[in-house]
Amino acid sequence: MAAPVLETCHVACCANRTPHVLSWGRGGLIAYGTCHSVALYDPQEKGVVAVLNGHTGRVNTVQWVHREDCGTETHLVSGGSDSVLIVWEALDGKFNPCVKCVGHTGPVCAVDAIHLDNNKLLIASTASDSTVKLWLYTGSKAECTQTISFGSGFMMDVSLVLLPGSRVPILACGGDDCRIHLYVQSNGQFMKVLSLQGHEDWVRGVEWAYVEGDLLMASCAQDCLIRVWRLVAKSGTEGNTQDEHTIRMTEDVFTLTDNDASSVFAVTLESVLAGHENKVYGVHWQPPVIKGGDQHQSLSLLSASMDKTMILWAPEEGSGVWVEQVRVGEVGGNTLGFYGCQMSPDGSMILAHSFHGALHLWTQAHEEEVSGVQGCVGSDQTTRLLTPWRRKDQTQPTWHEISRPQIHGYDMQCLAMVGRFQYVSGADEKVLRVFRAPRNFVENFANISGTPLEKLLASSDTVDQPEGASTPALGLSNKAVFQGDLAPKTNKEEGTGFNSVSDQYQESYFHPLTVNEPPPEDHLLQNTLWPEVQKLYGHGFEMFCLASDSGRTVVASACKASKAEHAAVLLWSATTWRQLQVLPYHSLTVTQMAFSPNGHFLLAVSRDRTWSLWRRDYPAATRTDTEPHFSLYTHTRKDIAVHTRIIWSCDWSVDNKYFVTSSRDKKVIVWGDCSSSEASVTPDEPPVIQPCSSILDVGDSATAVSFCPVLCPDNSYLLAVGLESGQVLLYKWRPSEEPAGAGASDWTRYGETDTSQSHALTVKRLRWRPRAGQAGQGGEEEGEGRVTGADSSWVQLASAGADHSVKIFNINRLAV
């Protein structure tokens, strides 16, 4: 069997900001919606094992269809803002979309499903079109059997279950009218039997559970309360045997008539659970297990709230009063709370997903102690640093977020590394910000990666290096925290009041911690910021792209522009951070820039459909000025212009000979040869850089392109092309002696991402690992992760998409 050309190494993606977007299956996989996709996360492997693409809008709700025998699920249902439900079925270990349920006219916000006889599924869905729809899935198709309209109201959640002792389904709907509506199927149609009152704000979640022949239903609402209801089957004479003086709970009774047989059921309020201090968005019963051939349900209820806590509730032995058993969550920080919660099949782990998209996972230790572990990464106005980490009991490393250097107030747009521990970032603002790693991060990075600390400190500027950073309460700039700031104050005034307002409201939340494994979410939010060392002013509009040279001497930046005066590229010194030059040429936004590997050239591409090439001027031996200086070397000429739409991306070959451009016109073109750059340049006759490849039509807008820094064994070039559709294509290009355009024989399709590997939206950036091999595989003592240098058969490619995800691919150079 041939070795795979491309395999997914890591997927970093966050959970969408909706309450019912996550579900934990009996097989151990956690399914959650991320942008337009459904991700399957394995908490044991600590990674996303599959991504299911099919929706064209944000996925708002995901639900495993649990089996009555508590076995591994074979079906998964998802609903999205595209108003569509998708039923996924497991075939040969992979989930494929079996059928789409089309009928809602608004975003689907919640879904539930149960198994019926003859391998059928009954699915209930609610959407913002003020309806709840019932669907019957028969394996090959799904038919909408009933639509329940709620006028101008909205149902926030639905839950299905079979009535005790029968195969009759009952549906619970919780809505914005603060009520829970119960519907029972009779003669093929669901009829409303009860409306349960009690909550004083929108009902956000409902869920059924079987307990000893009865049904328990938990409901949660924005009134900060959880209510537990009990549904029991009553005998015909039971109501008359009670004495009139007997104190009993108020019952809501309904009668079910099916096939000329009547059954009476009663619903009572079992308990009201008060413990949260903010809106409760999710409730979840501990999953049942099979014991002695029968299903056994533990009386454990999990709740998640916007107060940043989860509570595990259970009745006390003896009294039966529901009390709080365990409370977990965050204290302090700058985050909002939890949107939902789930419990592992064996009840040993509990999970919540938060506003920032992270998954917070706690495991049960000895004597009910609960400990937190690492979750997934999100994407919200932040920069994040990921690295491979190998656990002691594992042979393969897994990727983890180890730092969140910048948590900003604007959407991030671009980033450029300047050395190993310094970077420049640009957001939807006119300012560039420079960040440098604090000492606490460098020390922890050495612990996690296994790299000697002395080597890391030798590669960075450690003079006056701060311990960490914190963000002021009303600021956007990360403020450095030095060792002296961490020392407790022992002034004489201590204990006699505050000297100033700044003493009363401490802004430093940073606390240095030593970690030997990837830190959890609360630590990432507070203790892994990098201090901001410089602000760069000069642009008139929001930042759009950045680039830095390999020699760490110069940084180029460009902003959004609709006029030539704002489309100029600015050059900054990477040592003094002084503005060096303004490079005017383009008339519209410069979309991407790239320095050649040797730093001699700067390439810029633009919305104006042109590219410009700038050459570094090396001063004469008599000059003492050593600041970098660039001048226009050449640019697109009308007689050689090929692109007819926006040029989105560009990159250089590793040997500095060629550069590549990709455009909205679906064309990818290699230009060169630039090796004769020492020729003199005159303003009247700039050198001509022509296409040296045939025009590659990739069939879709080519939004990202990148040259692999390692040549193929036959000395051809390997390129990755990212498309607007989210797919990544791999091509081999070999320079041809024939004139460009004579044929497409110089391009060879090498590989591509399949539907599950591709992004759900546009590919925004592609970057190859600078060296061959797989990061984290070998060489841990050096921290480089090299295998055998250029002889390694594997190279790695990272891609960033508009679907808020980052993917890392392993690519085999020797597979073809």
Model pLDDT, residue 83:
95
Using an 8 Å Cβ cutoff, are 535 and 544 in contact?
no
Model pLDDT, residue 335:
67
CA proximity to 453, closest of 514, 523, 528: 514
pLDDT of 630 higher than 70? yes
Q: Provide mean pLDDT across the span 596-618.
A: 93
pLDDT confidence band for 148 (50 / 70 / 90): very high
Cis previous bond, 260, omega within 30: no
> Cα separation of 191 and 194, whole Å?
9
> Cα separation of 436 and 415, whole Å?
13
Q: Provide mean pLDDT across the span 572-601.
A: 94
pLDDT of 500 higher than 70? no
pLDDT of 494 higher than 50? no
Q: Which of 96-105, 339-348, 460-469, 571-580 bottoms out in mean pLDDT, i.e. has the lowest?
A: 460-469
Model pLDDT, residue 261:
73
Model pLDDT, residue 698:
94
Q: Provide mean pLDDT across the span 67-76.
A: 89
Model pLDDT, residue 505:
43
**Close Cβ partners of 246 (under 8 Å, ≥ 6 residues apart):** none
3-state secondary structure of 527: helix
CA-based torsion, 689, 695, 696, 701: positive or negative: positive
Model pLDDT, residue 371:
37
Structure tokens at 212: 């000893």
Q: Which of 186-190, 766-770, 808-812 bottoms out in mean pLDDT, i.e. has the lowest?
A: 186-190
Q: Provide mean pLDDT across the span 87-110.
A: 91
Ramachandran bin of 737, using left for φ above 0, alpha for ψ from -120 to 50, beta for the remaining angles: alpha
Q: How far is CA 15 from CA 35, 359, 382, 525, in A?
A: 8, 7, 15, 17
pLDDT of 658 higher than 70? yes
Model pLDDT, residue 379:
43
Strand ranges in 506-608 using DSSP code E only, listed in sequence order: 532-536, 543-548, 554-559, 569-573, 579-583, 590-595, 601-606
Residue 447: phi, psi to the nearest 5? -65, -45
Ranges 134-138, 184-188, 440-444, 785-789, most confident: 134-138
Amino acid present at 91: L
Q: Provide mean pLDDT across the span 777-799.
A: 62
Q: CB burial class (10 A; 0-12, 13-18, 19+) of residue 438?
A: buried
254 C-beta neighbours (distance < 10 Å), count:
17
Q: Provide mean pLDDT across the span 218-237.
A: 88
Model pLDDT, residue 369:
38
pLDDT of 492 higher than 60? no
Residues in the chain: 816
Model pLDDT, residue 509:
63
> Cα separation of 241 and 786, whole Å?
80
Q: Which of 61-70, 277-286, 288-297, 453-462 bottoms out in mean pLDDT, i.e. has the lowest?
A: 453-462
Dihedral angle computed from the Cα positions of residues 687, 644, 670 and 700, in that order, rounded to the nearest 10 degrees: 170
Q: Which residues lie across from 361 on neighbouring strands? A: 351, 373
Model pLDDT, residue 786:
40
Q: Which of 4-13, 377-386, 566-575 bottoms out in mean pLDDT, i.e. has the lowest?
A: 377-386
Q: Provide mean pLDDT across the span 638-661.
A: 92
pLDDT of 677 higher than 60? no
Model pLDDT, residue 676:
65
Q: Provide mean pLDDT across the span 469-480.
A: 69
pLDDT confidence band for 787 (50 / 70 / 90): very low
Using an 8 Å Cβ cutoff, are 161 and 170 in contact?
yes
Q: Provide mean pLDDT across the span 719-734.
A: 94
Residue 459: phi, psi to the nearest 5? -95, 5
Model pLDDT, residue 744:
54
pLDDT of 470 higher than 80? no
> Cα separation of 726 and 813, whole Å?
22
Q: Provide mean pLDDT across the span 109-134.
A: 93
pLDDT mean across residues, the chain: 85
Q: Which of 149-153, 277-281, 326-330, 340-344 bottoms out in mean pLDDT, i.e. has the lowest?
A: 326-330
CA proximity to 574, closest of 596, 615, 600, 546: 546
Residue 298: phi, psi to the nearest 5? -80, 145
Q: Which residues of 86-124 are buried (b: 16+ CB within 10 A; e: fewer)?
A: bbbbeeeeebebbbebebbeebbbbbbbbbeeeeebbbb
656 C-beta neighbours (distance < 10 Å), count:
18
pLDDT digits (tens, 9 = 90+) for 340-381: 999 999 889 999 998 888 888 899 874 333 433 333 333 457
Q: How far is CA 656 from CA 74, 179, 392, 709, 744, in A?
A: 52, 68, 42, 11, 23
